[in-house]
A = this chain, B = another copy of it.
Amino acid sequence: MRRVGAEANQRGDDAAERGTVVTPSAEFPPLGPEERAALGRIGERWHAPRRPDDLPIDPTLGRNRRRPAPTRFGRLAPIEMFTVEQPDELVATAPARLPGSRAGRMVTRLRRALVGPPLSSAAVLYERMRKLVALPILSSDLLSSVAYGPEAMLTVLVLAGSSALGLALPLAALLVVLMVAVGLSYRQTIPAYPHGAGSYLVAGDNLGRTAGLAAAAGLMLDYVLTVSVSVAAGVHAVTSALPGLAPATVPFGVLVIAVLLAGNLRGVRTAGNIFVLPTYAFVAAILAVLVVGYARAAGRGFAAVPPPAVPAAEGLGLLLVLRAFSSGAVSMTGIEAVSNAVPAFRPTEWRNARTTLGWMVAMLVALFAGLVALIHLDGLVPRPGETILSQLGRVTFPTGPWYALLQATTALILLLAANTAFNDFPRLLFFMARDGHAPRRFLHMGDRLAFSDGLVALAGAATVIFLVFGGRTEALIPLYAVGVFLAFTLSQSGMVVHWRRHRGPGWRRRLVLNAVGATLSGLVLLTAAVAKFAEGAWVVVVAVPLLVLLFRRIHRHYATLHRALALHPPPAAGRTPAAAPPAPAGSAEGEELPQEVRHLVVVPVARLNRASLRALAYAASLGQPTLAVHIAPEEAEADRFREQWCAWGDHLRLETVVSPYRSVIGPLAHYLEALHAARPDLTLTVIVPEVVLRRRRHRLLHSRAEQRLRAALRALPGVVVTSIPVHVSG
């Protein structure tokens, strides 16, 4: 276990060095120095029995001579599947991606129609953002939160009756303090981790792997909920303006998630121009609401309109206040976006990122505080069917298109906020997969250079959550805060450790600032988890440890696999075995040197026909010792087969196994196992003809013995299975 931990730490350092750059080569990690050395030493001992280097064919396909390409597609014009770029290297063209089967090609065509033609790896964008562009891109998630954050807080407060609404102002003041503290705390993280300061990285680097994974789990839940909550709130913004659409909330929301998925599978880049306008428009719209609203309030001498009387459903206890506070804290979701994206800024990256973060927090504070105070002044109360922002809009702009514009920009920025999660979730999975904490498939960039698997996973999870909660924003809010504040707390606690370790100039001041941020975040986390436990927070409280366990299990599996497959230097002749590194798993089967492979070719023959004769001919042509095996159900059949074998000429040694219980696969597998047990140094190559049928339905008519035999032999050590395809067109 220690070793795995050490390895993980080392990997963590690697990750820090590799930063947050996303590349298609991540699927092919380079060899470590130890492995490279082992590779060379293994290569030195390699002796092929015959040098099998003289190829009967030009592997570059004689491209220089322009032969016609294969015509599997039955087209007349030859398709250039490959082009030659340099000697010994071909480059596949787009048609070479196409699967060979008709069904596969149809799926490909359908997908292309939906998400567009494939993009070359060379098209990966390493675009750098100006601050004025970065601001709207990175702030859409954060600023859109004010569309539901104040309402979430008031919805809880009003449970204690309209008199309790007065508590909104002090709670908002507390939240502003929190925002500033967390904002300052993140400001310090950015220069410390200029290659990317995501919570997963910072927590993992400073607090250990489990903390990093917990932060990642919290963030993953956060991203899923961002999609669900933003889509729910956006749909609510629309249905507030057009109440007739309210019954279609759920299908509409699912449709929006599907469109977001399709757009992101197409690889909608985070190109600024999509984001700039709606974000600034939203900010402008809210500012307009505030200006007009305060002007009207000034008209009546800032006298608060008394809210309509709402009967108290619960007593005004501490728990209720805490719930209201933690519900309001969801306004801060998305504050971490800048720290993930540091390398995407123009140089000096950390400085520009830090400035952008400052602006963002300032805007958040202004919008949030302004809205809460104005709602109080106008005496508005949350009510089902219409968002409080919509009520405010109707009060502020009783006439004209301004109300409609407010609702439209609100819906749009919420959509963009959801889209942000579609950018961040697969990236997080990519980094986790690179460290072996998530399935390796999340490293793979689809043909549009998007992380298709991650996108699909996010859309699926968000849809499930959206459906389970019926698309109601207020039902989703209790789950939301826990994951985010877990990530905040861990990231900032990590920074505390970081300052203690690195002790740069002014480290004490920084440590205190991060400690304040961590403490406040931690308090909100605790508050949210405890106060809203019964309302849904328990889901997150349960899910985070389970996810961490899952990530650790995945890592353990990959680590085992890596140890089993990694190259070890061959034991030197002079060293005693004890001094050699511990024998890796699976070392008993064969060796990595051709001169050490001893062959026995085994051909199971059920009946003599073209398929089995082809298998026998293939086996004999290899020139290795060959044995044919026939499994007979009865003595009489065995005799008949032997007689046929002699009629053929008895060219190969035949062993007959009578299986009086009529099973074929079991006795054959046991026979091969017995051969292997008798001579474990032999590599048994089992050669089976496999009848390939063109139509899938015809497979029902066959026992598929080849597949069953392969499955039975998979578990046996040292048994190689060779399939000779026999194509039958009928």
CB distance from A470 to the nearest CB of B (A): 31
- Asked if A1 lies at the interface with its beta carbon under 8 angstroms from chain B, I say no
- Asked if A401 lies at the interface with its beta carbon under 8 angstroms from chain B, I say no
CB distance from A79 to the nearest CB of B (A): 9
CA distance A727 to B584 in the complex (A): 11
In the bound complex, do residue A623 and residue B670 qualify as a contact, i.e. CB atoms below 8 Å apart? Answer: no
In the bound complex, do residue A69 and residue B674 qualify as a contact, i.e. CB atoms below 8 Å apart? Answer: yes
**Chain A 26-49 interface mask (CB, 8 Å, partner B; 1/0):** 011111000110011011101011
- Asked if A89 lies at the interface with its beta carbon under 8 angstroms from chain B, I say yes
In the bound complex, do residue B81 and residue A648 qualify as a contact, i.e. CB atoms below 8 Å apart? Answer: no
CA distance A635 to B90 in the complex (A): 10
In the bound complex, do residue A726 and residue B678 qualify as a contact, i.e. CB atoms below 8 Å apart? Answer: no
**Chain A 639-675 interface mask (CB, 8 Å, partner B; 1/0):** 0111010011101111111111111011101110111
Q: Which residues of B contact A658 (CB under 8 A)?
A: 85, 89-92
Tell me whether A651 and B43 are in contact in the complex, defined as CB-CB below 8 angstroms, given that A56-B600, A701-B554 are known contacts: yes
Tell me whether A42 and B675 are in contact in the complex, defined as CB-CB below 8 angstroms, given that A27-B633, A96-B667, A99-B712 are known contacts: no
CA distance A560 to B727 in the complex (A): 12
In the bound complex, do residue B720 and residue A722 qualify as a contact, i.e. CB atoms below 8 Å apart? Answer: yes
Among B52, B655, B666, B719, contact of A626 (Cβ-Cβ < 8 Å) = B52
Q: Which residues of B contact A279 (CB under 8 A)?
A: none
In the bound complex, do residue B597 and residue A440 qualify as a contact, i.e. CB atoms below 8 Å apart? Answer: no
**Chain A 275-298 interface mask (CB, 8 Å, partner B; 1/0):** 000000000000000000000000
Which of A620, A632, A637 counts the most B-chain CB atoms under 10 A from its CB? A620
- Asked if A590 lies at the interface with its beta carbon under 8 angstroms from chain B, I say yes
- Asked if A317 lies at the interface with its beta carbon under 8 angstroms from chain B, I say no
Q: Which residues of B contact A609 (CB under 8 A)?
A: 35, 565-567
Among A115-123, A385-393, A523-531, the one that faces the other chain is: A115-123
CB neighbors of B among A605-624 (8 A): 606-611, 613-614, 616-624
CA distance A596 to B618 in the complex (A): 9
In the bound complex, do residue B592 and residue A52 qualify as a contact, i.e. CB atoms below 8 Å apart? Answer: no
CB neighbors of B among A506-565 (8 A): 554, 556-561, 563-565
**Chain B residue with the shortest CB-CB distance to A660:** B120
- Asked if A2 lies at the interface with its beta carbon under 8 angstroms from chain B, I say no
- Asked if A18 lies at the interface with its beta carbon under 8 angstroms from chain B, I say no
Tell me whether A92 and B657 are in contact in the complex, defined as CB-CB below 8 angstroms, given that A560-B730, A564-B728 are known contacts: yes
In the bound complex, do residue A24 and residue B560 qualify as a contact, i.e. CB atoms below 8 Å apart? Answer: no
Q: Which residues of B contact A670 (CB under 8 A)?
A: 70, 81-82, 92, 95-96, 100
**Chain A 471-506 interface mask (CB, 8 Å, partner B; 1/0):** 000000000000000000000000000000000000
CA distance A692 to B92 in the complex (A): 30
7 closest residue pairs by CB, A with B: A560-B730, A43-B649, A597-B621, A594-B620, A92-B667, A120-B660, A592-B613
CB distance from A460 to the nearest CB of B (A): 15
- Asked if A691 lies at the interface with its beta carbon under 8 angstroms from chain B, I say yes
Tell me whether A661 and B119 are in contact in the complex, defined as CB-CB below 8 angstroms, given that A567-B609, A609-B565 are known contacts: yes
- Asked if A17 lies at the interface with its beta carbon under 8 angstroms from chain B, I say no
Among B60, B596, B667, B712, contact of A655 (Cβ-Cβ < 8 Å) = B60
- Asked if A72 lies at the interface with its beta carbon under 8 angstroms from chain B, I say yes
In the bound complex, do residue A726 and residue B99 qualify as a contact, i.e. CB atoms below 8 Å apart? Answer: no
Tell me whether A599 and B621 are in contact in the complex, defined as CB-CB below 8 angstroms, given that A557-B698, A714-B725 are known contacts: yes
CB neighbors of B among A74-103 (8 A): 81-82, 85, 88-92, 94-101
In the bound complex, do residue B82 and residue A671 qualify as a contact, i.e. CB atoms below 8 Å apart? Answer: yes
Q: Which residues of B contact A558 (CB under 8 A)?
A: 701
Among A255-263, A441-449, A461-469, the one that faces the other chain is: A441-449
Taking A46-B651, A48-B620 as known contacts, 16 extra A-B pairs with beta carbons closer than 8 A to each other, sorted by chain A number, are: A28-B641, A52-B626, A57-B600, A57-B682, A89-B638, A90-B655, A92-B661, A97-B663, A122-B634, A446-B662, A558-B701, A585-B728, A589-B726, A592-B616, A595-B621, A721-B722
Among B592, B666, B674, B703, contact of A610 (Cβ-Cβ < 8 Å) = B592
| Secondary structure type dominating chain A contacts | mixed
Q: How many copies does the complex hold?
A: 2
- Asked if A220 lies at the interface with its beta carbon under 8 angstroms from chain B, I say no
CB distance from A259 to the nearest CB of B (A): 25
CA distance A633 to B27 in the complex (A): 9
CA distance A682 to B444 in the complex (A): 34
In the bound complex, do residue B97 and residue A610 qualify as a contact, i.e. CB atoms below 8 Å apart? Answer: no
In the bound complex, do residue B679 and residue A692 qualify as a contact, i.e. CB atoms below 8 Å apart? Answer: no
Q: Which residues of B contact A307 (CB under 8 A)?
A: none
CA distance A595 to B621 in the complex (A): 6
Among B600, B690, B698, contact of A55 (Cβ-Cβ < 8 Å) = B600
Q: Which residues of B contact A61 (CB under 8 A)?
A: 671, 674-675, 678
CA distance A623 to B715 in the complex (A): 27
In the bound complex, do residue B610 and residue A594 qualify as a contact, i.e. CB atoms below 8 Å apart? Answer: no
- Asked if A407 lies at the interface with its beta carbon under 8 angstroms from chain B, I say no
Among B554, B625, B649, contact of A52 (Cβ-Cβ < 8 Å) = B625
In the bound complex, do residue B617 and residue A91 qualify as a contact, i.e. CB atoms below 8 Å apart? Answer: no
Among B40, B564, B621, B703, contact of A594 (Cβ-Cβ < 8 Å) = B621
CB distance from A547 to the nearest CB of B (A): 15
In the bound complex, do residue B669 and residue A564 qualify as a contact, i.e. CB atoms below 8 Å apart? Answer: no
Q: Which residues of B contact A726 (CB under 8 A)?
A: 564-565, 586, 589
- Asked if A199 lies at the interface with its beta carbon under 8 angstroms from chain B, I say no
Which of A563, A564, A662, A679 counts the most B-chain CB atoms under 10 A from its CB? A662
In the bound complex, do residue B28 and residue A637 qualify as a contact, i.e. CB atoms below 8 Å apart? Answer: yes
In the bound complex, do residue A614 and residue B638 qualify as a contact, i.e. CB atoms below 8 Å apart? Answer: no
CA distance A416 to B178 in the complex (A): 83
Tell me whether A727 and B621 are in contact in the complex, defined as CB-CB below 8 angstroms, given that A48-B651, A658-B91, A691-B561 are known contacts: no
CA distance A396 to B488 in the complex (A): 90
CB neighbors of B among A672-723 (8 A): 673-679, 682-683, 685, 690-692, 698, 700-703, 710, 712-717, 719-723
In the bound complex, do residue A590 and residue B617 qualify as a contact, i.e. CB atoms below 8 Å apart? Answer: yes
CA distance A724 to B716 in the complex (A): 11
CA distance A276 to B261 in the complex (A): 71
**Chain B residue with the shortest CB-CB distance to A445:** B662
CA distance A728 to B589 in the complex (A): 11
CB distance from A575 to the nearest CB of B (A): 20
CA distance A623 to B584 in the complex (A): 28
In the bound complex, do residue B730 and residue A666 qualify as a contact, i.e. CB atoms below 8 Å apart? Answer: no
- Asked if A593 lies at the interface with its beta carbon under 8 angstroms from chain B, I say yes
